Chain A
């Protein structure tokens, strides 16, 4: 559905437009983008919790409001000029993943180990390993798009436990967390 919107000019006109922002307003929107993004993720997780507790309608409500927060995140990002052409977006995505793989998660990993926080180490390891997958996948996609081509229509499989991401079939067992193939989500 969101796909339709991107191509619907009448709707696109209603979206807030990118503009030259003063530094303080930019700072506000960046913080609001962080807040909306985290709210969207929390509500998805809390939807699963509600469903597990036997509140399917509360679950549905959390999903709906998560979508609303996701629309706010997109609007803030758009005003900040953070949505560009696909070639540029792929470069920004690659750079974000590279920072996480080369800087952020290795540093966080050391500190979590130092402090003996084993569950944090696990959560960091799962993320670190899959960000490395993404780095490679975004590199390949950018090369294709720079040549004016789409990537192949192979399935993309994602481990629901740790986020391991693979272009092609799901493995029998996740190499990062050991989840079996049926726990992969196919895109």
Chain B
């Protein structure tokens, strides 16, 4: 039987350690499922299965709603001021620790494609770090950021505020392919 709809995601609560670890693992699982299905949708489109592609995108969205619910229970949806600080911290960890370490291993093991995908990500995280730093300072003073378009390279994720470049400086993709937000 359906419980009455509260129109709110499941709320933050104080959790047992095991439950908190499980919800964190479930968040990781749902997030990865969502991204896989989005990639699978592109393949289905390419193979001439537009309706399978649509199903994949719908299910990816469903997994996103689960990820959001789990995040809410974990208390990880703060104010925008807090969220920008958390975002800056995450990007900084990826640049200073995670990708630096992974790149060293991929080089040692001479895994070339792995180096490429790590280099693409690391370069874009540096864009994000600078952007979150600047925008966070504005929001600390209750100011929204500017209305400029944000352009993202569909291949490597290079992120620029303002116009797209003629060519992506990280991966060489032509600017016309950038996605505008």
The reply to whether B62 and A134 contact each other, CB–CB distance below 8 Å, is: yes
Distance, CA A57 to CA B145, complexed state (A): 6
Q: A35-B98, A123-B10 are contacts. A117–B16 as well, Cβ < 8 Å?
A: yes
Q: A17-B113, A57-B146 are contacts. A40–B65 as well, Cβ < 8 Å?
A: no
The reply to whether A32 and B99 contact each other, CB–CB distance below 8 Å, is: yes
The reply to whether B40 and A108 contact each other, CB–CB distance below 8 Å, is: no
Whether B95 is near chain A, meaning CB under 8 Å from some CB there, is no
Q: A83-B40, A122-B10, A161-B5 are contacts. A58–B80 as well, Cβ < 8 Å?
A: yes
Q: A28-B102, A32-B98, A161-B65 are contacts. A150–B114 as well, Cβ < 8 Å?
A: no
Interface residues of B in 32-54 (CB under 8 A from A): 32-54
Q: A3-B42, A45-B77, A53-B80 are contacts. A90–B35 as well, Cβ < 8 Å?
A: no
The reply to whether A65 and B2 contact each other, CB–CB distance below 8 Å, is: no
Nearest Cβ on chain B to A150's Cβ, whole angstroms? 5
Q: A25-B105, A77-B39, A174-B5 are contacts. A86–B121 as well, Cβ < 8 Å?
A: no
How would you classify the secondary structure of chain A's contact residues: helix, strand, loop or mixed?
Answer: helix
The reply to whether B172 and A152 contact each other, CB–CB distance below 8 Å, is: no
In the complex, what residues of A have CB within 8 A of residue B69's CB? 122-123, 126-127, 162
Interface residues on A, range: 35 or more
In the complex, what residues of A have CB within 8 A of residue B151's CB? 64
Distance, CA A32 to CA B19, complexed state (A): 24
Number of B residues near A (Cβ < 8 Å) is 118
The reply to whether B135 and A117 contact each other, CB–CB distance below 8 Å, is: no
The reply to whether B38 and A67 contact each other, CB–CB distance below 8 Å, is: no
Q: A19-B113, A150-B51 are contacts. A38–B80 as well, Cβ < 8 Å?
A: no
Q: A37-B32, A57-B147, A68-B152 are contacts. A6–B84 as well, Cβ < 8 Å?
A: no
In the complex, what residues of B have CB within 8 A of residue A71's CB? 120, 124, 152-157
Interface residues of A in 128-173 (CB under 8 A from B): 130, 133-134, 137-138, 141, 144-145, 150-153, 156-165, 167, 173
* Nearest chain A residue, comparing its CB with the CB of B32: A37
Distance, CA A79 to CA B111, complexed state (A): 10
Q: A55-B80, A123-B72 are contacts. A108–B42 as well, Cβ < 8 Å?
A: no
Nearest Cβ on chain A to B7's Cβ, whole angstroms? 7
What are 25 residue pairs bridging A and B, where the CB atoms are less than 8 Å apart in the complex?
A3-B46, A5-B177, A6-B45, A11-B154, A25-B102, A41-B68, A49-B77, A57-B147, A58-B135, A61-B145, A64-B151, A68-B157, A74-B35, A75-B117, A86-B44, A93-B40, A111-B19, A115-B15, A123-B66, A127-B26, A151-B52, A162-B65, A163-B61, A163-B66, A173-B5
